[in-house]
Amino acid sequence: MTPEQTQILASVETFLARRLPPAEIRRRDAAHVPPYDLLPEMGALGLFALAVPVPEGGLGGDWATVALVQDALGRHAYMAASIFNRVVGFGLATIRAHGSAAQRAELLPLLMAGEAFCALALTEPQAGSDAAAIRTRAVRHEGGWRINGRKTWISDAEGARWLILPARTGPEPAGARGISLFLVPTATPGLAMTRLPKVGNNCMPSFDIGLQDVDVPEDALLGEEGRGFPHMMSTLHFSRASMAATVTGAAEAALRIALAHAQEREQFGQPIGRFQAIAHRLVDMRMRVDQSRLMVRHLAQLIDQGAPCRREAAQAKIIATETLRDVADAGMQILASAGYAAESDMQRLWRDSRLYTFGEGANEVLRDSIAREMGLTTRGMA
Ligand SMILES: Cc1cc2nc3c(=O)[nH]c(=O)nc-3n(C[C@H](O)[C@H](O)[C@H](O)COP(=O)(O)OP(=O)(O)OC[C@H]3O[C@@H](n4cnc5c(N)ncnc54)[C@H](O)[C@@H]3O)c2cc1C
């Protein structure tokens, strides 16, 4: 790490130790309290502006530093990592790439200051992995757009100031063509949110959203009309890189908890870590986490070079999310009853980890996209 990166990470650690000590993380998880109140402080530390170029009001740093911050956030408290990614890996990336001058001028300062954030409202009941099957439609109406439809599993929608919402504007009933992106303020009349109970990620609430005659102005269109799908694809590597880095940090946390337990817990007159079955399991966990981190760093390097990295971003997301799933599962086995207890940090990591192998692009679908890049055709894919 450079001296500057060391300094940034030290300030992140200080901030997390003060605002999210372990007892506070457990309290928020049990009470389902999202960490939105931490955003302005993260903004003041310059974390959101790190990799935004200076002419756009940012600090002009690199993605490698963002990835280090994401790893540290994921290791300490995934709830902080997840909201960080919503700003950096999704909101800033999308608005910078596709926002009009007016949208960039309005949103970028707010996003970088941590004063507001955007949620992605893509998924619909019939359109999960097959995202191009969305039916929500926007039609021109009195100088603006009128949106009708339904979105589901939209995370952090209630705390977000805007939804970035793909809707059909073309004549096509399905498929990637004729979809446009809209920037919809969550306070717009006609938008009704219902919270969805779920297994984990308690501090990232998810919502079903009904849209009934939701009127937005003409300039709510984000990017070019009809090009919403290619627009989303063009910035996907930022959100995949973000998830890969933060879940690598979470896997490191699970490994550390398991290692400490294996060194302390005694059975049959010795620490359980001295049993080869446990020691080898911990070694495998160490190797998987290191492998994942190396892939995350390689991807960050490609992003900083402006090199094509679609395949690497998909690979990093798959490797890191499957590492966390397996490391958290092995961690539960090593902690046994101590991990199954409600107050254990391992059970939270284990519950939360189950989402990432299918959230933000199921790993099966990502493997299909890698297969296509390798020149293999896979059935059933557009
Ligand atoms: C907690 C949570 C938060 C979320 N947050 C958001 C959000 O903020 N915004 C948003 O828009 N969406 C969000 N989602 C939705 C998420 O992106 C979808 O769950 C995901 O895309 C998978 O869709 P699905 O759940 O409908 O599964 P399905 O698409 O029904 O898939 C079911 C299974 O079939 C497999 N499968 C599907 N197609 C293929 C294929 N071609 N080949 C092989 N296997 C296949 C999948 O991999 C999966 O294993 C969230 C979901 C959850 C659970």
Question: CA-based angle 314:169:123, to the nearest 5?
Answer: 40
**Terminal Cα-to-Cα distance of the chain (whole angstroms):** 42
Summarize pLDDT for 58-67 with one digit per residue, the tens.
Answer: 999 999 999 9
- pLDDT value at 381 more than 80: no
Enter the tokens of residue 375: 């020149």
Q: Which among 134, 160, 137, 162 has a CA at the least distance from the CA of 213?
A: 137
Q: What is the pLDDT of residue 55?
A: 96
Pocket of ligand 1 (CB under 6 A): 119-123, 128-129, 153-155, 198, 201, 206, 355, 358-360, 362, 364-365, 368, 380-381
Asked if residues 215 and 184 have their Cβ atoms less than 8 Å apart, the reply is no
Enter the tokens of residue 240: 């995949």
Ligand 1: which residue has its CA nearest to atom 7? Answer: 154
Q: What is the pLDDT of residue 68?
A: 98
Q: What is the pLDDT of residue 380?
A: 55
- pLDDT value at 382 more than 70: no
Mean pLDDT of 266-274: 98
Query: Rounded to 5 degrees, what are φ and ψ at 264?
Result: -95, -45
User: For residues 327 and 309, what is the distance between their CA atoms, to the nearest angstrom?
Assistant: 26
Distance (angstroms) between ligand 1 centre and the Cα of 16 equals 31
Mean pLDDT of 327-354: 97
- pLDDT value at 379 more than 90: no
Only one residue has tokens 């903004």, namely 43
The b/e string for 6-24 (b: 16+ C-beta within 10 A; e otherwise) is eebbeebeebbeeebeeee
What integer best gives the mean pLDDT of the chain? Answer: 96
Asked if residues 243 and 85 have their Cβ atoms less than 8 Å apart, the reply is yes
**Active-site residues: which are they?**
360
Q: Which among 118, 151, 154 has a CA at the least distance from the CA of 36?
A: 118
The full DSSP string for 149-193 is: EEEEEEETTTT-SEEEEEEE-SS-SSSSTTEEEEEEETT-TTEEE
Enter the tokens of residue 287: 């190797």
Summarize pLDDT for 100-141 with one digit per residue, the tens.
Answer: 999 999 999 999 999 999 999 999 999 999 999 999 999 999
User: For residues 181 and 220, what is the distance between their CA atoms, to the nearest angstrom?
Assistant: 9
Helix (H, G, I), strand (E, B) or coil at 119: strand
Mean pLDDT of 33-43: 97
Specify burial of residue 341 (Cβ count, 10 A radius: 0-12, 13-18, 19+): exposed
Helix (H, G, I), strand (E, B) or coil at 222: strand
Asked if residues 273 and 257 have their Cβ atoms less than 8 Å apart, the reply is no
The whole model's pTM is what? Answer: 0.96
Helix (H, G, I), strand (E, B) or coil at 40: helix
| Length in residues, the chain | 382
378: confidence class by pLDDT, cuts 50, 70, 90: low
Q: What is the pLDDT of residue 377?
A: 76
Query: In sequence order, which residues have a C-beta less than 8 Å from that of residue 231 and are 6 or more positions away?
Result: 94, 97, 98, 181, 222, 223, 224
The C-alpha R_g of the chain, in whole angstroms, comes to 21
Mean pLDDT of 272-290: 98
**For ligand 1, mutation pick of 86, 90, 153 (most atoms within 8 Å of CB):** 153
Ligand 1: which residue has its CA nearest to atom 51? Answer: 153
Ligand 1: which residue has its CA nearest to atom 31? Answer: 129
Summarize pLDDT for 197-247 with one digit per residue, the tens.
Answer: 999 999 999 999 999 999 999 999 999 999 999 999 999 999 999 999 999
Ligand 1 atom index nearest CA of 380:
41
Question: CA-based angle 291:296:302, to the nearest 5?
Answer: 130
Q: What is the pLDDT of residue 173?
A: 85
Of the chain, the percentage scoring pLDDT greater than 90 comes to 97
Distance (angstroms) between ligand 1 centre and the Cα of 274 equals 41
Q: Which domains does the chain have, with CATH numbers?
A: 3-116 (1.10.540.10), 120-225 (2.40.110.10), 235-373 (1.20.140.10)
Only one residue has tokens 């709510």, namely 220
* Element containing residue 148 per DSSP (H, E): strand 144-155
